Structure 1
Amino acid sequence: MSDDLQLPKTPFSRPLAAVDVPEDGLERSIAAEAKERAALAEADGLPALNRLEAKLLVTREGRDGLRVTGELSADVRQTCVVTLEDFDTRVVEPIDVSFAPEASPAAPPHERRQELRQERMSRRRREAAPEEPKDPKEARASRHIADLDDDAPDPLVDGRIDLGAIVAEFFALALDPYPRKPGARFAPPGEAAAEEEERPPAKASPFARLRDALDKDGGN
């Protein structure tokens, strides 16, 4: 293996040699162990990662290339950016990534590939929700990134891929950078004060009125 082209380091590692992938593909189910989950939680800034599993299909693609498809699922604990309370949630994310025997001159390096995948996931989230029309320049940039993301495979380093590293990367990219506990709503200080002013005064308790009447009678 060359010094300038190495498999990305990750606490969750499940290496697989390309020669071990048969012509009809290979199915693999992997799960992170307790120590691996703790290390990933620390790396991703999570209070806890209670489960991380993935079902994957590795197939041959092109000339000596590989493709990994499947889905990961995880039970995570995150901190709400509104209430600062920890809450549990589930993350489910599809996986689809291709590998070529060696990086071509036009193919972006691993770090750039991570940026492109992040942009792809962000783009998918935006497309899933109503949004305003895009600026033409932004639309052209998104199409350019999509073209790069579709055309440039990751490098097949030393004839191997790391299924654990793939799952860990897609998991990190799938995490909401601004997690909110269900029902949590951020209200600016001005809005919160206005809501407090508009709130109708609390009704007096009948027992309180009776107590006031008795106090007055006692005073006479």
Structure 2
Amino acid sequence: MSSSASPSSTFRVADLRQNRPTGFDLRPNTQELGALADALGLTTLRKVVFTGEIRAYGKNDWELVGVLGATVVQPCVVTLESVTTRIDEKIERRFLAQMPELPDDDEEVEMPEDENSEPLETHIDVEAILHEALALNIPQFPRADGAELQEAVFTEAGKKAMTDEDVRPFAGLAALRDQLGSKEDE
């Protein structure tokens, strides 16, 4: 991973300065973009930039604040046409020396309000955060403009195909009503 603000994308916590933020500026090269696109199932990944800083957050904790910018190209889930999406996201992570304790396994667990917190370890890997943030922000079901799903009906030869209407909750009652109505007409 190329970087202009630091020689590495992994920062040793013991080397971070408590009184001054440490900046980072990650810009993957063409080969790295290709590998990341393959890992994420993208057609193309271009213009990826992740910039920001790591700074002290209280006495023993650290905070990463950055901006992720990327252009992703994926196949449309309906037409398979290429769909280009621009991602511009503010990314925040807090690395806590003491994570809040969770109750015993028998008790219900409510998720913490801050989903951006994780345990503080010996290193902060900015490249891993870039990968995770990108994976979380790419569209799951990209669609080309005007692409809509049409009803598809499949069945064995000689049998009546089941349609979306047939599986609706009251479709069975409607069929029963129709049968009863035809018996009354006899």
Contact 2:9 2:24 in 1 (8 A): no
Separation in 1 of the partners of 2:17 and 2:9? 14
Normalised by the size of structure 2, how large is the TM-score? 0.66
Higher RCO, Cα 8 Å, sep 6+: 1
- Whether 1:86 aligns to 2:82 is yes
Q: 1:55 aligns with which of 51, 56, 60?
A: 51
- 1:107-152 Cα distance to aligned partner (Å, 9 max, x none): 9xxxxxxxxxxxxxxxxxxxxxxxxxxxxxxxxx9xx4352526xx
The residue that corresponds to 1:173 in the other structure is: 136
Runs of at least 5 residues in structure 2 that lack an aligned partner in the other structure: 2-7, 104-108, 154-186
1:24 maps to a residue whose letter is R
Does residue 155 (structure 1) correspond to residue 119 (structure 2)? The answer is yes
Percent identity among equivalent residues? 28
Distance 1:148-1:30 versus aligned 2 partners, 3 A rule? closer
Which structure: greater helix fraction?
A: 1
Instruction: Assess, with a 3 A threshold, how the Cα gap between structure 1 residues 21 and 34 changes in structure 2: closer, same or farther.
Output: farther
Match of 1:182 in 2: 145
Q: Distance in 2 between matches of 1:145 and 1:70?
A: 24
Matching of residues 2-81 of structure 1 within 5 Å: 14-18=9-13, 19-81=15-77
- The 3-state SS of whatever aligns with 2:115 is helix
Superposition TM-score, scaled by structure 1 size: 0.56
Aligned residues: 142
**One-letter code of the match for 2:34?**
A
Q: Which has the larger strand fraction?
A: 2
- 2:20 is aligned with what amino acid? D
Structure 1 runs not aligned, ≥5 long: 1-9, 108-140, 191-220
- Contact 1:61–1:67 (CA under 8 A) maintained in structure 2: yes
Decide which of 86, 102, 107 is 1:106's aligned counterpart. 102
Maintained 8 Å contact 2:54/2:63? yes
**In 2, Cα distance between equivalents of 1:83 and 1:20:** 49
Structure 1 residues 66, 148: closer, same or farther in 2, change over 3 A?
Answer: closer
The separation in 2 between residues aligned to 1:44 and 1:17, in whole angstroms, is: 27
